[in-house]
Amino acid sequence: MLVLPQLKHTDSDRFFLMAGPCAIEGRDMALRIAERICTITDRLRIPYIFKGSYRKANRTKLDSFTGIGDEKALAILQEVGTTFGVPTVTDIHESGEAALAAAYVDVLQIPAFLCRQTELLVAAAQTGKAVNVKKGQFLAGTSMKFAVEKIRETNPKATVILTDRGNSFGYGDLVVDYRNLPEMQAFGVPVVMDCTHSLQQPNQSSGVTGGKPRLIETIAKAAVAVGADGLFIETHHNPAEAKSDGANMLPLDQLEGLLERLVRVREAIL
């Protein structure tokens, strides 16, 4: 298993980055995206974790894309990690998936809708891998202490990360409350801002989730200014052709400029 990058920026001038495509659509696309992001983050000295879902379980419609096959996608994640020497993260949805995914990746991610599922959190902690728990859209940041406690009581040595992805606002929109970031940091864990999912417009009548990607930079700048330890950004060469969450992903060719500006924001608040 690869050693995770320094997750807290207390003694550093950089935040860390979790980024990659929403879903693993194939080997070539995953390697191309990882190579480009590694080139950017190496130059900017940003610690990097490659993100990709090996399976999408939370879909609006029955015929929505869910994946290319569990072990095939997980093997691609493992190849990305070994090829570029970076840690990898993927989400799991049921406790039975924890051990399988842990054999291939370095960080297990708990989706926001599942952050209260005790059996899932315990299974993730038992693998010995780092666990990134996304805050439920229905919870205040202070309530995430219970997720942290479940993991730590199961495995006191586990690395726990908390990620904010906004709160439900009406029936088809989200809003970010930046108070959640310092409130969750008070639990002694690194806290990440999900800059893309927090701009989703879920449960649209079309059956396809919408989004506001033009505001990704706004969310990211505010998070860095507030003191987020890390950022989570889903990105794709062509979001319009992405098989999952294309409506709120950042075009890959915009990532470098965005990160350059975010580094300057981080430097300005030191």
Q: Is 253 exposed, middle or buried (0-12, 13-18, 19+ CB in 10 A)?
A: exposed
Contact status, residue 247 vs residue 209, Cβ threshold 8 Å: yes
Give the amino acid at 232: F
Q: How far apart are CA 19 and CA 235, in angstroms?
A: 7
SS (H, E, C) 41-74: HHHHCCCEEEECECCCCCCCCCCCCCCCCHHHHH
10-residue stretch averages of pLDDT, the chain, 270 residues long:
54 84 95 98 96 83 79 97 97 97 98 97 98 97 98 97 94 92 97 93 57 90 97 94 83 97 94
Q: Place domain 16-269 in its CATH homologous superfamily.
A: Aldolase class I (3.20.20.70)
Those residues with Cβ within 8 angstroms of residue 97's Cβ, 6 or more apart along the chain or in another chain: none
pTM of structure: 0.92
Q: How far apart are CA 29 and CA 33, in angstroms?
A: 6
- Report the chain's terminal Cα–Cα distance, integer Å: 32
pLDDT of residue 173: 87
pLDDT of residue 206: 53
Contact status, residue 212 vs residue 224, Cβ threshold 8 Å: no
